[in-house]
């Protein structure tokens, strides 16, 4: 773990990013920096562009303007084409762990194979070393005993923890969480949050899109409120959740917290 490195250097930089789907502009010039070892949460109503932003960082969405950098290396490269870009993006993605709302575990592979597939195929790790690494990651999320079962036999919370282990097995520089707990039954949310908290304690750099307000407040170093494709407000989570400057933020929080509590 890159624990004690300087936290002033940016790990992820998003510079003036625009993204359009046809006529609809969903990201209207987003700027964002995640420093090494820091945790940033993005909240906002659905359709605000927060998931699109996160997916753009991983290049699952191709941005139309602007730049995204991971550890100083530009992710989007409009100047690169075809196989050259394919190689470039595959290398970049090996350093980014992505966790999806719907887990997206590979159902035809056992839990341990889900975790070890990428290290084996992409890093050429031999089976034995990969299994050790995989078991280590599964222990980290508390699921070592489920190593040899298929994902269909796991609960939603367990699936998501395996998905986190799968991403961690590539030793990523940053973890991206796209509403990791939104598809879970309420009683399963906490086990996933617990794993994410433990990553926070290990100073993993994280960019989190979430609906879990109290979790975002607890765990993040910085929080953003997005609406209509722009960052409406960003500040410390304490300020954002208790005393936001913007009217839109207040309205959103009122509605959201009002519905949930």
Partner 1 sequence: MDFDLMVEVTPLLIRAAWVTIDISSRAIFFGFFVACGLVFLQTFRFAPIRWFARGYISVIRGTPYFVQLLLVFYGGPSLGLRLDPITCGVVVGAFNIGAYMSEAIRGSIESVDKGQSEAARSLGFGKVQTMVSIVLPQAASLMIRSVGVLAIVLIKNSSLVSIISVVELTYQAQRLIGSTYKPLEIFTLSALMYIIIIYAVMGIIELAYRRATRYTTQ
Which positions touch partner 1 (CB under 8 A)? Answer: 58, 60, 86-87, 90-94, 96, 98, 100, 102, 104-109, 117-118, 121-122, 149-153, 163, 166-167, 170
Q: Which residue lies nearer to partner 1 by CB, 73 or 257?
A: 73
Q: Which residue lies nearer to partner 1 by CB, 73 or 122?
A: 122
Q: What is the DSSP string of 201-229?
A: HTT-EEEEE-S-HHHHHHH-SEEEEEETT
Smallest gap from Cβ 68 to partner 1, in A, equals: 14
On the CB side of 53, how many CA atoms lie within 13 Å of its CA?
Answer: 36
CA distances from 221 to 146, 215, 216 (A): 33, 12, 9
Q: Which residue lies nearer to partner 1 by CB, 50 or 93?
A: 93
> Helix (H, G, I), strand (E, B), or coil: what is residue 236?
coil
Smallest gap from Cβ 183 to partner 1, in A, equals: 11
The length of the chain, given as a count of residues: 261
Q: Which residue lies nearer to partner 1 by CB, 52 or 249?
A: 52
Q: Which residue lies nearer to partner 1 by CB, 78 or 107?
A: 107
Q: Which residue lies nearer to partner 1 by CB, 156 or 228?
A: 156
For CA atoms 49, 54, 55, 59, the dihedral sign is: positive
CA 197 to chain centre: 13
Smallest gap from Cβ 90 to partner 1, in A, equals: 5
Q: In this structure, what token pair is assigned to residue 141? A: 């999320």
C-alpha–C-alpha distance, residues 4 and 92, integer Å: 23
Smallest gap from Cβ 31 to partner 1, in A, equals: 23
C-alpha–C-alpha distance, residues 177 and 199, integer Å: 12
Strand order in the sheet with 39-43: 96-99, 174-178, 205-209, 39-43, 222-227, 230-235
Smallest gap from Cβ 127 to partner 1, in A, equals: 15
**Diameter of the chain by CA atoms?**
56
Smallest gap from Cβ 222 to partner 1, in A, equals: 24
The radius of gyration of the chain from alpha carbons, rounded to an integer in Å, stands at 18
Smallest gap from Cβ 56 to partner 1, in A, equals: 12
Q: Which residue lies nearer to partner 1 by CB, 103 or 225?
A: 103
């Amino acid at each position: 773990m890159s624990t004690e490195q300087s936290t002033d250097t940016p790990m992820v930089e998003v510079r003036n990013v625009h993204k359009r789907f046809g006529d609809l502009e969903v990201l209207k010039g987003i700027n964002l920096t995640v420093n090494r070892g820091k945790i940033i949460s993005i909240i906002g109503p659905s359709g605000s562009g927060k998931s699109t932003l996160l997916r753009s960082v991983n290049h699952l969405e191709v941005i139309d303007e602007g730049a995204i950098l991971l550890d100083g290396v530009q992710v989007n490269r409009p100047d690169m084409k075809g196989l050259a870009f394919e190689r470039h993006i595959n290398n970049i993605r090996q350093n980014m762990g992505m966790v999806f709302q719907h887990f997206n575990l590979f159902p035809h592979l056992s839990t341990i194979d889900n975790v070890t597939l990428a290290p084996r195929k992409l890093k050429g790790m031999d089976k034995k070393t990969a299994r050790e690494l995989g078991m280590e990651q599964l222990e980290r999320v508390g699921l070592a005993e489920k190593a040899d079962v298929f994902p269909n036999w796991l609960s939603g919370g367990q699936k998501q923890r395996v998905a986190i282990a799968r991403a961690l097995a590539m030793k990523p520089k940053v973890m991206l969480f796209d509403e990791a707990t939104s598809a879970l039954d309420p009683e399963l949310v906490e086990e996933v949050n617990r794993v994410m908290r433990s990553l926070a304690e290990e100073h993993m750099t994280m960019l989190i899109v979430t609906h879990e307000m109290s979790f975002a407040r607890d765990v993040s170093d910085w929080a953003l409120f997005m609406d209509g494709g722009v960052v409406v407000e960003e500040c410390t989570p304490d300020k954002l959740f208790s005393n936001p400057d913007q009217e839109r933020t207040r309205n959103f929080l009122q509605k959201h917290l009002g519905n949930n509590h």
